Structure 1
């Protein structure tokens, strides 16, 4: 059978599926700010069906190589306000199509099959980190700040007690918070165990198991509280890890330019605690009968003029630390106040937060994302 004849037999349905896959893959690679580019890719596919089908095969092959064996379906990204009208049109069009009858049997949740322990497995150790006392540690309500700078304890305490340096408008239709990930591909164990496979890199491009899944939990809590929150899932550390912060800087600047109402920018990460050679730590806390991954805020200090407004960020960090620890005792590790940068000059509400470590499970990290988001929503709402 000739190629042109075969293409005609494929039909409109297969072509539509191929176009959808192209758009979806383009959006995944380019991230939310470039969804328009993904639609351009789809349009090009319609103009050349043969090229579309060939691209579909290539993307499917690449996707199979990039995704882990235990990967789950990618969650539907939340549209930004600028794309809400497009989403509504798409939903109306879909609603006009005949819908299949609902299944009487509920669809079971995907499960992770237990892995056999390899002979050369590494060790995962469970730890719970307490708040610090004396020396480097400065109280901030229910939590503490670990001062790793040359500033005196009195200077840090004064800055930390200043209160929020910005105001949030719950109920406003304008975005107030941006959640993003400089190291989006950081991920966790998918099952709770005391060992890890040596070939597990703790990285994944699958948005349902990496930092995007945790960021989505935080965003959901804030949006539910009426604080409009945008969640960017751009893979800033893929395919190249080097230059991640430069790329995330560009992303944040683009959001701030488009949405000047944004007051808070949270860079959500996963820690990698290794106390000894061959060990990985699972940092945990028991909260309301469930195991949560412990969290740690990192706030940078000025170093030669790179963070002129660091005191405002520190005040925010202290208030958020207290909000989390007072509501969920044991959830937080002390705030790390050090000479770090992390693009925290972009707003006076810019912080980095580590959710667990590479020994924690995804379930523990997602639960912590819920708790972190609830405490932040209460803080920003003045509760």
Structure 2
């Protein structure tokens, strides 16, 4: 038999224990003291937890009231949701069918660039064709968009690299208008308040033809091109003439007039999609970006006048 079994057997067979009264009282007092200490510790913990909760609540209120806590919370939630959407939404390749936003401000002007790589001698990486994939006529459209918004005219500016789309899809330069056509159709479908559709280019004229002084500063001249083969030629021509006359009234000589094209190439410049659709050429390759921007500022003034008449 193992030793522990012997011990248990002795305990089992031992007579009933009768502790002395003094031992019982001492044990009772010890247990009561321990219980009292436990209650004090528990009470202290509860009090600490209570006051810590109040302090935390006060800190949160102060943070929200004085340090923009609500904004931080909102931004944090937005970032989490954006991250979630980014990770759960299928990624769509950027092409001419997507990435045209719907403005919450009901835009009335749509700006785009069929020949988006048209650039200037001071910016172009390709000095033979005066083209550049980054620094090009898109910057002029961006400036026009900003100038209109400063005047509280809401517009959409499409910056899709159409020439890149042509390359990726194995299309020719002549197909540029086929690509931009899909963009226009999508915009008109999603934005019902559009009043003007403007395809911004620069022409190929020499500096002496493309530049004029306005208030002592060089400004790029502007011309309007209407397609002779557009099914909406009359409507397109009417809006082009309106722009020309408004410019001439305010800044004589800045407009080079209304040019009619498209006959030889049978190109309607997509002007058949919308009555108030224009191809606008601003300056030439020898103009500077500053001269383009000055011209755009003037053009934005005239756009306001034109919108007042067609609305």
State the superposition RMSD in angstroms.
Answer: 3.1
Unmatched runs of 5 consecutive residues or more in structure 2: 1-82, 84-90, 167-172
* Matching residue within 77, 81, 99 for 2:103: 81
- Measure, in 1, the Cα distance between the counterparts of 2:97 and 2:179: 14
Tell me the TM-score normalised to structure 1 length: 0.50
After superposition, give the CA deviation of every residue in 1:183-213 in whole Å (9 maximum; x if it has no partner): 111111328xxxx99845311121xx31111
| Preserved contact between residue 111 and residue 141 of structure 2 (Cα < 8 Å) | yes
| Preserved contact between residue 116 and residue 162 of structure 2 (Cα < 8 Å) | yes
How do 1:148-163 and structure 2 match up within 5 A? Answer: none
- Measure, in 2, the Cα distance between the counterparts of 1:248 and 1:217: 20
* Matching residue within 80, 84, 99 for 1:34: 99
How do 1:1-383 and structure 2 match up within 5 A? Answer: 30=95, 33-34=98-99, 80-81=102-103, 173-190=105-122, 199-206=127-134, 209-238=135-164, 240=166, 241-273=173-205, 283-301=210-228, 303=229, 307-338=230-261, 339=263, 340-382=267-309
Q: How many residues align?
A: 213
- Measure, in 2, the Cα distance between the counterparts of 1:313 and 1:323: 16
After TM superposition, give the deviation of residue 268 of structure 1 in Å: 0.2
| Preserved contact between residue 175 and residue 262 of structure 1 (Cα < 8 Å) | yes
After TM superposition, give the deviation of residue 217 of structure 1 in Å: 2.1
Q: Larger helix proportion, structure 1 or 2?
A: 2
For the structure 1 residues 31 and 210, does the alpha-carbon distance in structure 2 shift closer, same or farther, using more than 3 Å as the test? farther
- Measure, in 2, the Cα distance between the counterparts of 1:198 and 1:257: 36
- Measure, in 2, the Cα distance between the counterparts of 1:359 and 1:254: 34
Unmatched runs of 5 consecutive residues or more in structure 1: 1-18, 20-25, 36-78, 83-172, 275-279
For the structure 1 residues 231 and 354, does the alpha-carbon distance in structure 2 shift closer, same or farther, using more than 3 Å as the test? same
Asked which structure has the greater RCO (Cα within 8 Å, sep 6+), the reply is 1
Structure with max Cα Rg: 2
After TM superposition, give the deviation of residue 254 of structure 1 in Å: 0.6
For the structure 1 residues 81 and 32, does the alpha-carbon distance in structure 2 shift closer, same or farther, using more than 3 Å as the test? farther
